[in-house]
């Protein structure tokens, strides 16, 4: 998960505030939000605001990602009080709003995404010779990284596609009559490439990933490899009628680390297991924490939890079909034995211009998280503002309820 740098901005100036007959010292509190430049063809507007428990806006502004900037929010406040962050993205081309409230956020510095630009790209063509001789089958299991293209088998095996500048490229081929796949690796693509490759001279990928999971009626396996600073989906397999295990071969020495992302579901209850590191074999069990939803109302959601976990996410969406606006909303909070949510104060000053009301929203998803990589000085809500990073060995497990599968 993302690293957050915390500080509590204080000045020599402080005030004594009278509250319910008690004197409360107020100090200068500072939040900084770092907005990166992100090149995109999608027109969107974002916003970040600090609010208190009543929903009063203490500072913030709308922004876009056309230039890097820093948004500072500074105010006099009680250092022991709870303050929250509202963050949203409005996709104007599609009339979509993606809105999140992150509860109990400490003053500090937060990064709202990573710098991103369109990269130069290069053509990669691989002519695979001797891929099939006589009755020997052409490889039927082909996986690759950082590649936009495909392959054809009409005249032998030809791989043709596009790779971004300076990115690594890994591709493997598996024949039905061979125990292990063979692979080809290019460390950095800096120009157009066309290679003639003898299939029989390709090295075997002897490392095998073995995944086992509990009984389920739907399973999804995703594998993401990292080489240097390049991260790319290697392969994805999903089973609409469930699966108990999955295995595949790769050359583990090529990758600096591997992210294994497995999700499985039984009815309306779903589970995920996201591991980042060098371990290839995973015997996955149902998480040792759980919850029960006692009240489903958008203004009175009540959830009873059990076991140790890091935090929760409660997701809602607009059920008013008379409007074309797609509005989804989530609240992220710290772990608690009893979770009680009323979205009204968090949305009151933001939803008013929209052609629907809070009562048009329904509870859609509830998720509990257990994250081994969350540091002791930060919480799940603070961590998720920044978005996930996968630099350290880590394991994230979740258990969820889905309205759609009730």
Please give the DSSP secondary-structure letter assigned to residue 255. Answer: -
The tokens for 212 are 């086992």
pLDDT of amino acid 12:
47
Task: Specify whether the CB–CB gap between 189 and 166 falls below 8 A.
Answer: yes
- In angstroms, the first-to-last Cα distance of the chain is 31
**Which of 283, 20, 306, 254 shows the shortest CA–CA distance to 144?**
254
- Three-class secondary structure of residue 366 per DSSP: strand
Alpha-carbon distance of 55 to 352, in angstroms, equals 13
Q: Which domains does the chain have, with CATH numbers?
A: 5-115+288-405 (no CATH), 121-201 (2.60.40), 207-283 (2.60.40)
Residue 23 exposure: Cα atoms within 13 Å on the Cβ side: 4
Tally of CB atoms within 10 A around 390: 20
pLDDT of amino acid 7:
32
**What's phi and psi for 300, nearest 5 deg?**
-155, 65
pLDDT of amino acid 325:
84
Task: Specify whether the CB–CB gap between 389 and 111 falls below 8 A.
Answer: no
Task: Specify whether the CB–CB gap between 139 and 175 falls below 8 A.
Answer: yes
Identify the H or E element spanning 198: strand 193-198
Classify strands 207-212 and 282-283 as parallel, antiparallel or unpaired: parallel
Judged on CB neighbours under 10 Å (0-12, 13-18, 19+), 64 is middle
pLDDT of amino acid 300:
97
**What's phi and psi for 381, nearest 5 deg?**
-60, -40
Please give the DSSP secondary-structure letter assigned to residue 201. Answer: G
Please give the DSSP secondary-structure letter assigned to residue 346. Answer: H
The tokens for 385 are 């503002």
Alpha-carbon distance of 8 to 28, in angstroms, equals 8
Residue pLDDT, tens place only, 98-129: 999 999 999 999 999 888 888 899 999 999 98
Residue pLDDT, tens place only, 132-172: 766 777 787 888 777 788 888 766 788 998 998 888 888 99
The tokens for 18 are 């009278």
pLDDT of amino acid 11:
41
Q: Please report the sign of the dihedral spanned by the C-alpha atoms of residue 209, residue 213, residue 219, residue 224.
A: negative
C-alpha to C-alpha distances, 351 to 297, 320, 325, 328, nearest whole angstrom? 18, 14, 12, 12
pLDDT of amino acid 94:
84
pLDDT of amino acid 18:
57
C-alpha to C-alpha distances, 363 to 212, 275, 286, 375, 403, nearest whole angstrom? 32, 28, 24, 30, 7
pTM of the shown model: 0.89
pLDDT of amino acid 79:
92
pLDDT of amino acid 385:
87
Residues of the chain with pLDDT under 50: 1-12, 375-376
Q: Cβ contacts of residue 242 below 8 Å, gap of 6+?
A: 215, 216, 217, 218, 219, 264
pLDDT of amino acid 10:
40
Alpha helices in 234-372 (DSSP H): 344-351
pLDDT of amino acid 347:
93
């Amino acid at each position: 998960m993302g690293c957050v740098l915390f500080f509590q901005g204080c000045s020599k100036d402080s005030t004594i505030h009278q509250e319910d007959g008690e004197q409360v010292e107020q100090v200068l509190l500072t939040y900084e939000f770092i907005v990166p430049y992100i090149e995109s063809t999608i027109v969107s507007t974002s916003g970040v605001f600090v609010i208190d428990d009543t929903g009063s806006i203490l500072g913030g502004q709308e922004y876009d990602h056309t230039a890097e900037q820093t948004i500072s929010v500074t105010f006099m406040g009680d250092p022991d009080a709870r303050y929250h962050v509202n963050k949203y993205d409005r996709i104007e081309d599609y009339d979509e709003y993606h809105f999140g409230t992150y509860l109990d956020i400490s003053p500090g510095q937060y990064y709202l995404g990573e710098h991103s630009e369109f990269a130069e790209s290069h053509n990669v063509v691989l002519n695979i010779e001797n891929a099939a001789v006589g009755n020997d089958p052409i490889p039927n299991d082909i996986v690759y990284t950082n590649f936009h293209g495909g392959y054809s088998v009409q005249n032998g095996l030809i791989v043709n596609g596009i790779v971004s500048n300076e990115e690594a490229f890994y591709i493997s081929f598996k024949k039905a009559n061979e125990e292990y796949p063979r692979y080809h690796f290019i460390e950095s693509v800096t120009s157009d490439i066309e290679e003639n490759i003898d299939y029989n001279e390709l090295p075997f990928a002897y490392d095998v990933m073995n995944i086992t999971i509990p009984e389920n009626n739907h399973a999804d396996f995703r594998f993401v490899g990292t080489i240097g600073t390049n991260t790319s989906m290697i392969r994805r397999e999903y089973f609409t009628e469930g699966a108990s295990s999955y295995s595949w071969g790769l050359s583990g020495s090529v990758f600096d680390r591997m992210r294994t992302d497995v999700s499985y579901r039984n009815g309306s209850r779903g589970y995920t297991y996201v591991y980042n590191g060098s371990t290839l074999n995973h015997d996955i069990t149902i998480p040792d924490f759980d919850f029960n939803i006692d009240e489903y109302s958008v203004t009175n959601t009540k959830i009873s939890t059990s076991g140790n976990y890091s935090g929760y996410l409660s997701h809602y969406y607009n059920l008013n079909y008379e409007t074309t606006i797609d509005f989804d909303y989530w609240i992220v909070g710290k772990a608690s034995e009893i979770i009680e949510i009323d979205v009204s104060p968090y949305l009151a000053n933001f939803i008013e211009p929209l052609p629907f009301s809070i009562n048009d929203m329904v509870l859609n998803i509830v998720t509990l998280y257990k994250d081994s990589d969350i540091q002791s000085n930060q919480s799940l809500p603070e961590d998720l503002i920044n978005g996930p990073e996968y630099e350290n060995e880590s394991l994230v497990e979740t258990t969820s309820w889905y309205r759609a599968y009730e």
